[in-house]
């Protein structure tokens, strides 16, 4: 495609930036990646690794508003707000609760279906080209309830999934333990979504995508983008900590750190960080066939190359506050009730704790759009809880937009102006 060949700078080398860079490179563009850190060190490092074709349920649902008081009181509950941060996040929280209106939830779920329905298939060609198939698995994922009644209470979410084409296999407690013998007899009911996939090493996956991109001629600069050089609205260069880098097109994919770059272009967007935690156990007593999502404890257990990872929880406390490691440790306490072979405590050398910043908009959808100011700067950030799963489709649609092709999914729900 030499006629439409462009020089494209992709800002951020997480899962989104590396997927976008690979897709643009496949289209024949000259692409460079910019990141002050090694690829895949931020949110894309420590997540649960699930490619959820079934993750069409937005975070804010009609019932969410009733849980807010208990969240505010319990600092170790599945969603916590630090009191000192409340004044900064109040506006976002109001939008978040408003996004839980029934009609909005239906629209968000439809958009998520477009984004995630082919999550595993979209990523597979990039994974194969990057020789990363060893950490990419297409075996499904399991959702577990300790009580059948808890599943019944969660019925609205499963009905929403069904309306959006998600299919599953139901497992009673016997079938559940036959499928996953590590589960305790507390687990009463399970749903296996066979179209889901996972990675057993999110960091290795991103690193290999970045390595493949570099081996195929892409440049990776260890630098932060600080702004844009434009003339009459057209992009001339990206300003960085190592000087100006000439580019025809820029893609902002800097996850939770994207807001100041969009603000430079006049777009004030309600991007927040939903901080999440993990605890990892080395040489664990439990090895799981597929990721197990505890629907009541609100965490995901995934067997990774480096141990058993228990990941989840949401904490609203901004980008700067120090981590509250109690939130990691509580995940072990919860996991023990589902996997009784796990110990009550471990020597510190067998544990590792992590906190990462999910980049989140209040309506659980990313922004995939052109900036208002320049047609040459694209936004690809705000993927919240589903960045790993959304990466393939995000790469494909950004490549469509840069090439001037009709995007393969309807991008209206992902536009920036929904927050105008």
Ligand X SMILES: Cc1cc2nc3c(=O)[nH]c(=O)nc-3n(C[C@H](O)[C@H](O)[C@H](O)COP(=O)(O)OP(=O)(O)OC[C@H]3O[C@@H](n4cnc5c(N)ncnc54)[C@H](O)[C@@H]3O)c2cc1C
Residues that bind ligand X (CB under 6 A): 11-17, 34-37, 41-44, 47-50, 52, 224-225, 253-257, 276-278, 300, 311-312, 356, 358-359, 381, 383-389
- 207 vs 131: CA distance, rounded Å: 11
Least separation in angstroms between residue 106's CB and ligand X is: 22
Least separation in angstroms between residue 278's CB and ligand X is: 5
Nearer to ligand X, 50 or 316 (CB): 50
Least separation in angstroms between residue 200's CB and ligand X is: 12
Residue 281 three-state SS: strand
Least separation in angstroms between residue 379's CB and ligand X is: 11
Nearer to ligand X, 270 or 340 (CB): 270
Helix H or strand E encompassing 190: strand 189-193
- 401 vs 11: CA distance, rounded Å: 17
Which residue in 348, 350, 358, 352 sits closest to 328, CA to CA? 352
- 377 vs 368: CA distance, rounded Å: 11
Nearer to ligand X, 177 or 236 (CB): 236
Neighbours of 85 (CB within 10 A): 16
What are the b/e assignments for 280-297, b being 16+ CB within 10 Å? Answer: bbeebebebebbbbbbbb
**Cβ–Cβ under 8 Å, residues 29 and 76:** no
Nearer to ligand X, 87 or 322 (CB): 322
* CA distance to 234, 253, 264, per residue, from 230 (Å): 5, 19, 11
Least separation in angstroms between residue 13's CB and ligand X is: 5
Displacement of CA 368 from its chain's centroid (Å): 14
Which residue in 238, 279, 280 sits closest to 261, CA to CA? 238
Nearer to ligand X, 292 or 311 (CB): 311
Least separation in angstroms between residue 285's CB and ligand X is: 22
Q: 């597929």: which residue's tokens?
A: 290
Answer positive or negative: Cα dihedral of 282, 286, 290, 294.
negative
Nearer to ligand X, 113 or 278 (CB): 278
**Cβ–Cβ under 8 Å, residues 269 and 367:** yes
Helix H or strand E encompassing 153: helix 148-153
Nearer to ligand X, 176 or 292 (CB): 292
Nearer to ligand X, 28 or 391 (CB): 391
Least separation in angstroms between residue 78's CB and ligand X is: 11
Nearer to ligand X, 147 or 329 (CB): 329
Least separation in angstroms between residue 125's CB and ligand X is: 18
Least separation in angstroms between residue 356's CB and ligand X is: 4
Least separation in angstroms between residue 300's CB and ligand X is: 6
Strand blocks (E) in 43-155: 50-51, 79-81, 136-137, 141-145
Answer positive or negative: Cα dihedral of 134, 400, 408, 372.
positive
Helix H or strand E encompassing 220: strand 219-221
Nearer to ligand X, 100 or 202 (CB): 202
């Amino acid at each position: 495609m030499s006629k439409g060949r462009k020089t494209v700078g992709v800002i951020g080398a997480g899962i989104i930036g590396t997927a976008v860079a690979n897709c643009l490179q496949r289209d024949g563009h000259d692409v460079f990646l910019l990141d002050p850190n090694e690829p895949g060190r931020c949110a894309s490092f420590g997540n649960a690794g699930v490619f959820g074709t079934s993750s069409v349920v937005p975070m804010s649902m009609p019932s969410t508003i009733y849980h807010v008081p208990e969240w505010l009181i319990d600092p170790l509950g599945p969603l916590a707000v630090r009191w000192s941060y409340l004044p900064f996040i109040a506006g976002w929280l109001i939008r978040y609760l408003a996004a839980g209106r029934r009609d909005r939830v239906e629209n968000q779920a439809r958009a998520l279906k477009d984004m995630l329905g082919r999550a595993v298939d979209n990523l597979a060609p990039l994974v194969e080209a990057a020789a990363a198939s060893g950490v990419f698995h297409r075996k499904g994922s399991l959702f577990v309830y300790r009580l059948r009644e808890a599943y019944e209470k969660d019925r609205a979410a499963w009905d929403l999934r069904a309306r959006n084409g998600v299919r599953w296999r139901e497992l009673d407690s016997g079938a559940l333990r036959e499928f996953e013998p590590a589960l305790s007899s507390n687990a009463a009911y399970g749903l296996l979504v066979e179209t889901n996939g996972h990675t057993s090493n999110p960091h290795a996956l991103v690193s290999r995508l970045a390595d493949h991109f570099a081996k195929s001629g892409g440049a990776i600069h260890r630098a932060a983008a600080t702004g844009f050089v434009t003339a009459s609205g057209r992009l001339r260069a990206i300003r960085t900590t190592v000087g100006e880098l000439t580019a025809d097109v820029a893609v902002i994919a800097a996850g939770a750190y994207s807001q100041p770059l969009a603000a430079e272009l006049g777009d004030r967007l309600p991007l927040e960080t939903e901080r999440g935690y993990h605890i990892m156990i080395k040489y664990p007593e439990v090895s799981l066939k597929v990721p197990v999502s505890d629907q009541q404890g609100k965490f995901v257990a995934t067997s990774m190359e480096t141990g058993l990872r228990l990941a989840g929880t949401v904490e609203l406390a901004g980008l700067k506050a120090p981590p509250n490691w109690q939130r990691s440790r509580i995940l072990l306490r919860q996991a023990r009730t589902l996997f009784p072979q796990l110990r009550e405590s471990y020597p510190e050398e067998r544990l590792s704790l992590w906190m990462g910043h999910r980049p989140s908009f209040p309506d659980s959808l990313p922004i995939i759009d052109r900036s208002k100011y320049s047609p040459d700067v694209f936004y690809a950030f705000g993927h919240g809880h589903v960045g790993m799963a959304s990466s393939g489709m995000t790469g494909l649609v950004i490549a469509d937009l840069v090439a001037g092709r009709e995007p393969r999914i309807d991008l209206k729900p992902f536009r920036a102006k929904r927050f105008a």
